Amino acid sequence: ISTETTLAGYHFDNCFMNAAGVYCYDAAELNQVQASMAGTFVTKSATVMPRSGNPEPRYQPTRLGSINSMGLPNEGLPYYLDYVSQQQKAVPDKTYFQSITGFNIEEDEQLLAQISASDFKGVVELNLSCPNVPGKPQTGYDFEMVERILTRVFTVYHGPLGVKLPPYFDIVHFDQMAAILNQFPLAFVNSVNSIGNGLKIDVATERVVIKPKHGFGGIGGDYIKPTALANVHAFYQRLNPAIQIIGTGGIKSGQDAFEHILCGASMVQVGTALQKEGPIIFERLTRELQTSMAQKGYTKLSDFRGKLQYLD
């Protein structure tokens, strides 16, 4: 029973990987995902300049998931390009993901130019959905801006590239975003990023649990799985089949991954549960997914990918 997959024309021995932001800040963390059963890794979203991010505490696990307002802390794109370049030489038969995010179109172009000028041979994940930089709106909710960014991006960059989207909650928004995304030769769409600006409260102290933004932060974990599955399936139904789907959100078991793939995902990313359990989680997730598949007589992901049935 195989959990291998293909994305952007590349083969991956396993369909599981980390979600950007989790276990991918530096070489110490990335080495652990690289050494795990994950099929590959994606780096922390890189910006033009290194960033220290928001004041701590800025991440809190909760009983059902997590809340974070990291504020895009990262070592800057050159750091990650160097790391990936090393991994391309050390473990050449794997393809890696570089996440990037600019604060405007010019920065997006600058980041992509840096990637083009490097020996990077992997897949770019353009993050359009960071909810935690005060004053920076989530680009993914500004449809005209998304269209302008993608028009510029595909004019200047010609390697495999996908976008990380925020969750949408309105059928008309799925229609409108899909109409925009279908205009571009995207390798994939990754749904979903955290549900932005949630609030977790410590009732004993009557205080919020993270410092930035009066305690407002992106929500991950069990809370977001129904929304994640809906976004994966909505785009799977609407997008040109050449644009694959990466499913992210609420995956903490093999069954959760099965559900994302049934909704149409070709790759699944793990955030909150990876943060809690560490990269060893990929062994359990892979085993559990294989068990779910075996119980249903499936031997490969394409046996059931996108085959969610309706009641009509």
Ligand X SMILES: O=C(O)c1[nH]c(=O)[nH]c(=O)c1Cl
Give me the residues that bind ligand X (CB under 6 A), please.
Answer: 21, 45, 68-72, 127, 129-130, 132, 193-194, 218
Task: Output phi, psi for 286, to 5 deg.
Answer: -65, -45
Point out the catalytic residue in the list 15, 24, 130, 263: 130
Measured CA to CA, the distance from residue 115 to residue 112 in angstroms comes to 5
What is the token pair recorded at 50?
């290194």
Least Å distance between CB 39 and ligand X? 21
Q: How far is the CB of 91 from ligand X (least distance, A)?
A: 26
Please state, in angstroms and rounded to a whole number, the distance separating the CA atoms of residues 78 and 92.
Answer: 20
Residue with token string 């998304």: 146
| Best CA proximity match to 125, nearest among 191, 36, 34 | 191
C-beta of residue 33 within 8 angstroms of C-beta of residue 96: no
Q: Measured from the CB atom, is 59 or 298 closer to ligand X?
A: 59
Min dist. Cβ of residue 146 to ligand X (A): 15
Nearer to ligand X by Cβ, of 194 and 275: the residue is 194
d(CA 142, CA 169): 14
Which residue has tokens 């925020």? 166
Which two tokens mark 117? 């000028």
Q: Is-catalytic flag, 24? A: no
For ligand X, which is the closer residue by CB, 98 or 132? 132
**Among candidates 108, 96, 97, which has minimal Cα distance to 48?**
108
Tokens 């991954």 label which residue? Answer: 257
CB count, 10 Å around CB of 115? 22
Q: How far is the CB of 72 from ligand X (least distance, A)?
A: 4
CB-nearer residue toward ligand X: 72 or 77: 72
| CB of 51 or CB of 94, closer to ligand X | 51
State the minimum distance, in angstroms, from the CB of residue 97 to ligand X.
14
| Pairing between β-strand 207-208 and β-strand 265-270 as defined by DSSP bridges | unpaired
Catalytic sites, residue numbers:
130
